Structure 1
Amino acid sequence: MTQASTRNEGRDRFEDSEALRALLTRLHDAGQDAWRNDPEAAALMRHAADKYAALARKHGLDPWEAASAAFEAMRGAATRRADDPWAVVTRAVQVTCIGEERGNGLLCSVHQARRPRYSVFHDAERFSDRENPLTDYHPAFHVDPFADDAHDDSGEDEDLLLERTMNVVSAVEDTIAFLSRVGWAPETARAGVEYITGRLAESVSRRSAFEVLRRDRQARALLDLPGTSWTTLLRVVLGNPDPALAHTNAGRGMLVRLLIGEPLRVLWRDDDLVLTAGLAAPANGSEEP
């Protein structure tokens, strides 16, 4: 009973923010060896392991990993100067636990897992983790037939390959000319279409290229395009990625329509295409969403 009372008194002492501040200040002033040799420091770390054990287990970690994060936070000057030192420590432990969990799931470092460009991905999965084969449901394995044709050059003779290359170049030039005629500045139209086709050549399908480009803020900054104009340009050039529209003119996009043999004059008769592309031209006052 006496030992339990002593432990409770220790917990109550450590939970007091001012007492924690005083202890952290004393340990800081005592030098680097104080954390290693001071008995109160050891008791504080045991208390931190107990305090954050539930949070650590929630993220699949050992309580002492949370205590380690608390130790790093406690050594900082910001913690000693904070209005509530425990609030600073708790937030630091929470962020570290989340980062460790995401890093373990993504098979990358905690530093990378904390960055938005990596944290948006789902955890790594083995092929055997699901009953159905990965190729049955994952969009990365859904090959666009047009992209397939554009990338599969095996067995073709040089004349056919040259003809295909010329067709692609012609389709790109016709797309640029079309956009220029409906109100896009020629230099903007050329830069935008060439950037899109360059990324398309590196992608497995038009749909995946669309999704990558849609989130490409660097491209928008380089081209100085509002969000609405950029998204509409992608739909016009690559087609709407909605699977329900895959076999429609809206789903194919200008590049595919030109590559499968539709002449530019036919596209001029597509009122929806002309209106959509024209209204999205930056000169028409599109605004950032």
Structure 2
Amino acid sequence: MSTPTFSTPEGLRALLRRFADPTDPASWDGPDGAALARFCIARFERMARKFRQPREDAASFAFEVMCDPHLLQADDPWAVVTTAVRRDLSAQLMGESLLCGDRTARHGVDVHDPQRITDRDWTFLEVHLAGPDTGDDGQHPRQTKAGDIAPVELQAAVDDAVRLFGSLGWPRGAARFALEYIGSRLELAGNPATAFEYLRRDKVARARLDIDQAAWTAVLTAVLGSPHPDRALVPAGRGMLLRMLAGCPVDEVLTDPALTSALASSVPRDKAVRQ
């Protein structure tokens, strides 16, 4: 396989200039962007493994740097990108070790001693799965605390979600990639809102799935729930994974017209993830 032209500093600069030119057909969401995403995943895989981080995260960090117009002025754009990716991966690893955000870890501000979720009396799952009080009829919503959700339960919810995606036209491979990608970020972030905000800006998954920003945001809303705090405890505002973990059957989730419409209208076009 021939080496892509953007593997060189000048080649990358030329491609980024094309992305910035509104009259050029090349775009982040098109074939060129997808090829660049795959190249970044392969290029930074070893570095990501060194810092015990997903290789897709490394590629996402690379894309964030590439979106900065100042990169076009750098003598060696790839050198700048590589340095930034290494910094961000290191900060993310430190943030996980200290159980704080990678931004805090990078700047060393208010870094606290590690405190695991299981050391607390509640988690975000308890809040999201509890839902509103049902009154005095004896029917109480599920209360979930740290450790109540076993890995097998989470895997079962993901499997059910894959089948739900498939019933709405999603190829199985694309559905599993999307759900596992979102799930890995949710696990790192610790709460749906933070995961949603990070993933909303993520270009790697969009390039891999070959869907636009609106479709990707619709998928995130369906899986993680509404990013608006005032809808967080409303059943329709919670993501399908949390609803399934709370015991909501797939058939009931499928009765949500907004969710099914969002997923049906965002089916990927990329044949590479259809298997």
Quickly name the TM-score band, shorter chain normalised.
Answer: 0.3 to 0.5
* Greater fraction helix: 1
Taking structure 1 as the reference length, the TM-score comes to: 0.44
Taking structure 2 as the reference length, the TM-score comes to: 0.46
